[in-house]
Amino acid sequence: MFRPAHIDPTLDAFIILGLIAALMIAYFGLNACEIRLGERMDEEPWMPVSRLLSQLAAPYTPAQLHVAARVFWWIHALVLLFFLVYLPRGKHLHIITAIPNCFFRSLSFVTTVPRLVFQKGRTFGVSKVFQFTWKDLLDFYACTECGRCQAQCPAHNTGKALNPKQVIRTGKMNLLTNGSWLLAGRSDSLAPAKDDAPTIWPLIGNGEGSVSTDAIWACTTCGACMNACPVYIEHVPKLIGLRRHLVMEKAQFPPELINLFENTEQRFNPWGIAPSERAKWAQGQEIKVLAEDVKVEYLFFVGCSGAFDSRSRKTTQALAKIFTKAGLSWGILGSQEKCCGDPLRRLGNEYVFDQLARENVELFHKHGIRHIITFCPHCFSTLKNDYAQFGGDFQVSHHTQIVAELIRQGRIKLAGRREEPIVFHDSCYLGRYNGVYQEPRQVLAAATGRPPLEMPRRLDRSFCCGAGGGRMWMDEDVGQATYLERTREALALKPATICVACPYCMTMFEDGLRDENAVGKVQVKDVAEIVLEAMR
């Protein structure tokens, strides 16, 4: 009745509760006997429970009370000693490990994953527990199994196989089962099976102590699990490590990703459209294309969606008009631009991502680029955070940040009045990953004359649209569609417009409106489109 759904009633939990109850009963019993014997006169006023229980001991003689006090003392001591022995094998090990885990946590929200070194003879990704970092192993032991990650996970909440709490619990089970072999330096061989403790060695699979491939591919990398964790466990990098093994070692991944991988590697965009088409959206506009003799203050990194997706092109064109009217010194790379590689890295195809990142950083340095503006939050986060591993020391801004600054400077004049209700959706990679929450809201308030409507799940608790982590290019055929749940949450507020700041979110909400037969009744627009409509 009172237990939240994300807290599992395990046997381990009942054992711990029983031990704690025994400790408390023994403690109250000991104090009650000593109060009755007159040994706690000074402390009695501060022991209301023990004082009340001491009244029940009135019929007993002092000799009997002495015996009872010693019995309670020994019960307390023995239960405590048993608890200390049981602790390392139970869920309450986190009492010891959570403190160092919090100390060694990332100083900011996890924004990237480790870079791999590609050398002959090396293995890539994670398929066995010893391939995790020491911090990953500490994460397994630090888990409190509170279920907060499970309660926030969009995949779990829409009926998918993924449960982030179970992923961490599986890692702990695997580590405990194989710990003796690891300590003995036998990590190159499988732990022999036992009748009472079957081998829990492979991390990827459908057996006990393994994470299923369905769970691995269900993750949207939205980071809601990490944001909710009270002891700073990092779930997403572990799942990406498992994906890396499946993609680069086993070539086992959903078939719909084949085209994505091939297109991005060969034509530098997920759709496989010719690179010469990248600047087609800019036809008819006087936009500078960076070359040896063209220098600008800002590079507008359009991104694949902004360049090739027909709906996102409207936002790209709106931004171009805003930048030009504001007198910004900006330009684009045109056909030189390549995918930032975000879907590849989140899906585990680190090899192709590594190539793209190195080539992009070299191109940016060639043109002397220092400040980059992005349309897509995924490009924004990747260029800002992941590219630092490749020497990318650029100042990267999302377009909502730039537009907010232009409004503050008075370089954009807005009418500032719009009667129709607008609800705003926080993109995971803009909000949780990079802490950009206020700028989009400030821009909308300036453009419409009032703050946008807010969904119940907003800011760092925002619910994912379902497109991150490469899920944009994967079928969602298990459970309820993630985008549909978020769309229904937005429609419950009866808005005229759902406002976003991400092309992925744009696509997902438009799909949701079609499923809900709300096309024509409700619109989906980017913040930039709202601003352009309000410009004088």
Alpha-carbon torsion (291, 294, 297, 299), positive or negative: negative
Same domain, 306 and 384: yes
Same domain, 83 and 15: yes
In this prediction, residue 51 carries a pLDDT of: 76
Taking 70 as the pLDDT cut, the residues of the chain under it are 1-6, 44, 184-201, 292
For 105-129, give one letter per residue: b (16+ CB within 10 A) or e.
beeebbbbbeebeeeeeeebbbbbb
Same domain, 204 and 238: yes
- Please indicate, yes or no, if residue 262 is contained in any of the structural domains: no
From 51, 67, 89, give the residue that closes a domain.
89
In this prediction, residue 193 carries a pLDDT of: 45
Same domain, 320 and 196: no
In this prediction, residue 6 carries a pLDDT of: 65
- Please indicate, yes or no, if residue 268 is contained in any of the structural domains: no
Same domain, 445 and 391: no
Tokens of 206: 């459908």
CA distance 268 to 303: 10
From 376, 407, 438, give the residue that closes a domain.
407
Residue with tokens 């022995």: 85
Same domain, 77 and 125: no
Write the CB contacts of 390 (distance below 8 Å, at least 6 apart in sequence): 115, 357, 358, 361
- Please indicate, yes or no, if residue 98 is contained in any of the structural domains: no
Same domain, 416 and 403: no
Q: Edge to edge, what strands does the sheet with 453-454 contain?
A: 453-454, 422-424, 497-500, 523-526
- Please indicate, yes or no, if residue 104 is contained in any of the structural domains: no
CA distance 386 to 476: 27
In this prediction, residue 466 carries a pLDDT of: 94
CA distance 379 to 230: 29
CA distance 431 to 91: 32
Backbone φ and ψ for 289, nearest 5 degrees, come out as: -105, 125
- Please indicate, yes or no, if residue 265 is contained in any of the structural domains: no
Write the CB contacts of 44 (distance below 8 Å, at least 6 apart in sequence): 35, 50, 51
CA distance 519 to 531: 22
Give the CATH number for residue 286: 3.40.50
Same domain, 368 and 444: no
Same domain, 453 and 500: yes
Query: Based on the structure, what is the number of domains in the chain?
Result: 4
Residue by residue, DSSP assigns 352-372 as HHHHHHHHHHHHHHHTT--EE
Write the CB contacts of 73 (distance below 8 Å, at least 6 apart in sequence): 26, 30
CA distance 94 to 164: 17
Tokens of 331: 């330009």
SS3 501: coil
- Please indicate, yes or no, if residue 256 is contained in any of the structural domains: no
- Please indicate, yes or no, if residue 342 is contained in any of the structural domains: yes
Instruction: Name which of 60, 63, 74 is nearest 30 in CA terms.
Output: 74
CA distance 208 to 171: 11
Residue by residue, DSSP assigns 248-295 as IIS----TTHHHHHHHHHHHSSTT---GGGTTGGGTTS--EE--TT--
For 370-405, give one letter per residue: b (16+ CB within 10 A) or e.
eebbbbbbbbbbbbbbbbbebebebebbbbbbbbbb
CA distance 433 to 398: 13
**Domain that includes residue 65, residue range:** 11-89
In this prediction, residue 16 carries a pLDDT of: 84
- Please indicate, yes or no, if residue 442 is contained in any of the structural domains: yes
Backbone φ and ψ for 453, nearest 5 degrees, come out as: -65, 150
List, for residues 450-488, the tens digit of each pLDDT value.
999 999 999 999 999 999 999 999 998 899 999 999 999
Same domain, 386 and 451: no
Instruction: Name which of 330, 252, 342 is nearest 303 in CA terms.
Output: 342
Same domain, 417 and 386: no
| Cβ atoms of residues 91 and 10 within 8 Å | yes
CA distance 35 to 29: 10
List, for residues 265-286, the tens digit of each pLDDT value.
999 999 999 999 999 999 888 8
Write the CB contacts of 418 (distance below 8 Å, at least 6 apart in sequence): 447, 448, 449, 450, 530, 534
Same domain, 289 and 385: yes
In this prediction, residue 60 carries a pLDDT of: 77
Instruction: Name which of 480, 253, 238, 458 is nearest 344 in CA terms.
Output: 253
In this prediction, residue 198 carries a pLDDT of: 42
List, for residues 139-191, the tens digit of each pLDDT value.
999 998 889 999 999 999 999 999 999 999 999 888 888 877 777 665 554 44
From 358, 384, 407, give the residue that closes a domain.
407
**Which 8-state DSSP code applies to residue 535?**
B
